């Protein structure tokens, strides 16, 4: 029977599968039909896998067996999900939306893929568009064309995980994975009216995600509701021997929300929100605070003295890490190879043909800030200020449980509006980069509208505080 994924969440689809209202194959067919009719315009998917119905068939079999045995089956079993194109799915192309990896096939599964597909029976529908190697905030840096925002196709879906956010907003899938180095899950979530979670650094294994800034990167979920995001997060989190930065869940539980109060205390750094906010974003912020107050949350003003340096710190440290992570694309190990007269020329030619302008810009910036003579002035200093920013947040979390800011300073902007001004594009990240610099978890929750465009609010918690994010996030989304 035909189902509209727009009317379902992961939770309600699971109920439907449990009750036998429809099958995983029905869900998969509905996803495929929606993609078929809308993807030409939106460009959310770079590829739809050819085994979607096979995967759905496996899920149906597992569901039938569980039913026969009178057992439950995993909530994600049979649920159609989309995967950002920088996460490896064995045997499938993973291109990071770059020409240099256009025909690169992954040789192994990322840990998150094993968990979703093998352990939980989720149906992976395809790989989604993104800014090349996750560098950008609009998905316009994709080598394969921008993703369009389902709310207004003249506008960007955000980035870098724009395809994943748009795919959910358009009703093509019920959930998706993205990666977030400086806001790439949360900002597109805000632009497309979905929930996006950047987990605590180390909560989710990065094994099998293409590294951008290794000290900043995290994989996280997109979904329609906090509850759904939590379901995906619970499935993918956990210590992994293949990623030594992953942390144990027990560390985790211990460190969540400290407040003894029934409702959490929410801090707002007003000093950082005085300028540059779109009027509608400011209004949604004020409305959200009023709603939270009414529900019994205490709102407190906090000070984060060094936060105004965070964007500058990010745009020194991130390119430094980018420049070393990109070195592996040498025309020998993976993907594209262009012949020159010798090995060095092969290298130059391959990288010149394979990388787009934003990736090149960041490699240049990164090698500059790391070069001898400049290292102390830039990289070393930025690292020291990163520590100060982290200390500011730790101090603030001595008196509040969560920090609330907008996710982005404006709603989705027009395609082409910021492409010629990299600094204007970087300013989009002003509220999101701090969670990556500090390693703390943060979530973007749909909280209001600007005309027909969604606006998200961002909650940040101390390390391991995802549960507090979910608690307050649910109270924000319910009011929308």
52 vs 97, which CB is nearer to ligand GLN? 97
Instruction: Give the 3-state secondary structure of the chain.
Output: CCCCHHHCCHHHHHHHHHHCCCCHHHHHHHHHHHHHHHHHHHCCEEEECCCHHHHHHHHHHHHHHHHHCCCCCCCCCCCEEEEECCECCCCCECCCCCHHHCCCECCCCCHHHHHHHHHCCCEEEEEECCCHHHCCCCCCCCCCCCCEECCEEEEECCCCCHHHHHHHHCCCCCEEEEEECCCCCHHHHHHHCCEEEECCCCCECCCCECCCCCCCCEEEEEECCHHHHHHHHHHHECCECCECCCCCHHHHHHCCCCCCCCCCEEEECHHHCCCCCCHHHHHHHHHHHHHHHHCCCEEEECCCCCHHHHHHHHHHHHHHHHHHHHHHCCCCCCCCCCCCCCHHHHHHHHHHHHCCHHHHHHHHHHHHHHCCCCCHHHHHHHHHHHHHHHHHHHHHCCCCCEEEEECCCCCCCECCCCCCCHHHHHHCCCCCHHHHHHCCCEEEEEEEEECCEEEEEEEECCCCCHHHHHHHHHHHHCCC
Is 84 assigned a catalytic role?
yes
Taking the least distance from each CB to ligand GLN, the nearer of 74 and 159 is: 159
Give the whole-angstrom CA distance, residue 202 versus residue 185. 16
Nearer to ligand GLN, 75 or 189 (CB): 189
Rounded least distance, CB 217 to ligand GLN, Å: 8
Q: Judged by CB, which is closer to ligand GLN: 97, or 455? A: 97
Closest approach, Cβ 32 to ligand GLN, in A, equals 28
Q: Identify whether the C-beta of residue 415 lies closer than 8 Å to the C-beta of residue 148.
A: yes
Distance in Å, CB of 134 to ligand GLN, minimum: 4
Considering beta carbons, is residue 215 or 467 the nearer one to ligand GLN? 215
Name the catalytic one among 184, 323, 410, 468: 184
Q: What is the contact surface with ligand GLN in residues (CB under 6 A)?
A: 134-137, 160, 180-184, 212, 318, 429
- Is 90 an active-site residue? no
Candidate list 160, 179, 410, 444, residue with the active-site label:
160
In the complex with ligand GLN, the residue whose CB is nearer, 183 or 446, is: 183
What is the closest distance, in whole angstroms, from the C-beta atom of residue 378 to ligand GLN in the complex?
Answer: 17
Minimum gap (Å) between residue 242 Cβ and ligand GLN: 21
The residue assigned the tokens 């600094």 is 423
Nearer to ligand GLN, 9 or 95 (CB): 95
- Nearer to ligand GLN (CB atom), residue 181 or residue 407: 181
In 3D space, the residue among 410, 409, 402 whose CA is nearest the CA of residue 443 turns out to be: 402
The token pair that represents 351 in the structure block: 């990288």
- Give the nearest distance from C-beta 60 to ligand GLN in angstroms: 36
Task: Pick the closest to residue 141 from 425, 429, 427, 453 (CA basis).
Answer: 425
Distance in Å, CB of 288 to ligand GLN, minimum = 23
Minimum gap (Å) between residue 357 Cβ and ligand GLN: 13
Q: Is 18 a catalytic residue?
A: no
The size of the chain, in residues, is 480
Which residue sits closest to ligand GLN, CB atoms considered? 184
Q: Which residues does the annotation mark as catalytic?
A: 84, 160, 184
């Amino acid at each position: 029977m035909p189902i509209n994924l727009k009317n379902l969440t992961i939770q309600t689809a699971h109920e439907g599968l449990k009750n036998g209202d429809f099958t995983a194959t029905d869900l998969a067919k509905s996803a495929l039909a929606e993609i078929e009719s809308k993807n030409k315009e939106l460009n959310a998917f770079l590829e739809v896998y050819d085994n979607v119905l096979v995967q759905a068939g496996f899920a149906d079999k597992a569901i039938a067996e569980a039913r026969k045995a009178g057992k439950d089956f995993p909530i994600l079993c049979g649920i159609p999900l989309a995967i950002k194109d920088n996460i490896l799915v064995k045997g499938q192309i993973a291109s990071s939306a770059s020409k240099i990896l256009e025909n690169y096939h992954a040789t192994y599964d990322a840990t998150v893929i094993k968990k979703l597909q093998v352990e939980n029976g989720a149906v992976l529908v395809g790989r989604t568009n993104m800014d090349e190697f996750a560098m950008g905030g609009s998905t316009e840096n994709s080598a394969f064309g921008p993703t369009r925002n389902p709310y207004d196709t003249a506008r960007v879906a955000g980035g870098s995980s724009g395809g994943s956010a748009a795919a959910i907003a358009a009703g093509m899938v019920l959930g998706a994975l993205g990666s977030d180095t400086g806001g790439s899950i949360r900002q597109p979530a805000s632009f497309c009216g979905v929930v996006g979670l950047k987990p605590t650094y180390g909560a989710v294994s990065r094994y099998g995600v293409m590294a951008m800034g290794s000290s900043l990167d995290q994989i996280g979920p997109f979904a329609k509701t906090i509850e759904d995001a939590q379901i995906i997060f619970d499935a993918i989190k956990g210590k992994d021997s293949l990623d030594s930065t992953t942390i144990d869940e027990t560390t985790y539980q211990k460190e969540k929300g400290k407040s003894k109060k029934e409702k959490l205390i929410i801090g707002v750094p007003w000093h950082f929100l005085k300028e540059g906010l779109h009027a509608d974003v400011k209004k949604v912020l004020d409305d959200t605070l009023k709603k939270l107050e009414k529900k019994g949350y205490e709102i407190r003003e906090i000070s984060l003295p060094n936060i105004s340096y965070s964007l500058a710190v990010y745009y020194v440290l991130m390119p430094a890490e980018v420049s070393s992570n990109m070195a592996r694309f040498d025309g020998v190990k993976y993907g594209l190879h262009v012949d020159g007269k010798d090995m060095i020329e092969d290298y130059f030619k391959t990288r010149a043909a394979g990388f787009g302008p934003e990736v090149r810009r960041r490699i240049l910036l990164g090698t500059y800030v790391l070069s001898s003579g400049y290292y102390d002035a830039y990289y070393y200093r930025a690292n020291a200020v990163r520590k100060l920013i982290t200390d500011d947040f730790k101090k603030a979390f001595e008196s509040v449980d969560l920090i609330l800011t907008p996710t982005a300073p404006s709603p989705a902007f027009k395609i082409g509006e910021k492409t010629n001004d990299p600094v204007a594009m970087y300013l989009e990240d002003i509220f999101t980069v701090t969670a990556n610099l500090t390693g703390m978890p943060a979530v973007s929750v749909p909280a209001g509208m600007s005309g027909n465009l969604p606006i998200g609010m961002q909650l940040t918690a101390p390390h391991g505080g995802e549960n507090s994010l979910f608690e307050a996030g649910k109270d924000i989304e319910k009011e929308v």
